[in-house]
Amino acid sequence: MAKRKALGRGLSALFPESSAMDEEKGFFYCAVESITPNPLQPRQDFSDSELSELANSIKEKGIIQPVLVNRVKDGFQLIAGERRWRAAQKAGLHKIPVLIRDVSPAESLELALIENIQRKDLNPIEEALAYQEMIHKSSFTQESLSKRIGKDRSTIANFLRLLKLPDFIQKDIVDGTLTTGHARVLAGINSPSSQKDIRDIIIKKALSVRQTESLAKKMSEPKKKKDSTVDIDYYLETLSKDIQKFLGTKVSIKKTGKKGKIIIDFYSDDELDRLIGVLT
């Protein structure tokens, strides 16, 4: 099997290992006010606390790696390094080291995306939007993009599916209320009302991804006969299976209103002793 190309090989070419701060390579100090952020920058969320930490580091050690910029009409536009640029201003620097690369908007987006992926700076929605932007503004397909950035096509497809989720669920993903695993389960549900119902249960009950998958599967099954009076609590059913697996014996949970009981079966004195040992 052919070995996958390293992610972000373009950036390593832009920053040679010999010396990122070598004037012969095009490095120079540029006034921070002459640099503008890239409107196509994939990363939109910049933590104040993280910027403050970086600003303190910059005050102490300076900027070790130059930011990457492109020439524009009124100065320079960032390609990669917006976090360093923002932190430098927070640190009170008036000039920062830059490297100039004349690239197209599509290439600028690609380099910014690769840098952020390498640094793991993007939340899942930002990464999905970046993939979508590259596909829409260039000739990339999911397959060609996957080869370009070194990720599986299925991974890119899964990220793009997140953009079909309702805005409030996307916000949950951005702020960390839901994980990418939860989001992928929700993205596989066609009904917006079911998505919301399951999302609410995930948050209220702190469901794991596996429990969420089980719940989604149960809710997608055909409903029982209309005259059935059985009201199945899918969360309790999943939870009882988890306890059953841990204890190695049958477990059932009965709930009435806010009260209930957990029933643990045993089939011999020895098994009772074993269960007492596990529980204590």
Q: Could you give the residue numbers annotated as active site? A: 82
The pair of structure tokens assigned to 13 is 């070419």
Question: Cα dist. 269→5, 170, 251, 276, 278 in Å?
Answer: 60, 52, 17, 11, 14
What element of type H or E holds 208? none
Strands of the sheet containing 75-80, edge to edge, are 27-31, 95-100, 67-72, 75-80, 35-36
Q: Could you give the CA distance from residue 106 to residue 114 in angstroms, rounded to a whole number? A: 12
Residues near 125 by beta carbon (within 8 Å), at least 6 away in sequence: 162, 163, 170, 173, 174
DSSP-derived pairing of the beta strands 35-36 and 75-80: parallel
CA angle 138, 128, 136 (to 5 degrees): 20
Quick one: the chain helix, strand, coil %, rounded to 5? 55, 15, 35
Query: Using an 8 Å Cβ cutoff, are 212 and 185 in contact?
Result: yes
Q: Which two tokens stand for residue 170?
A: 């996307």
- Helix axis angle, 180-187 to 167-174, nearest 10°: 160
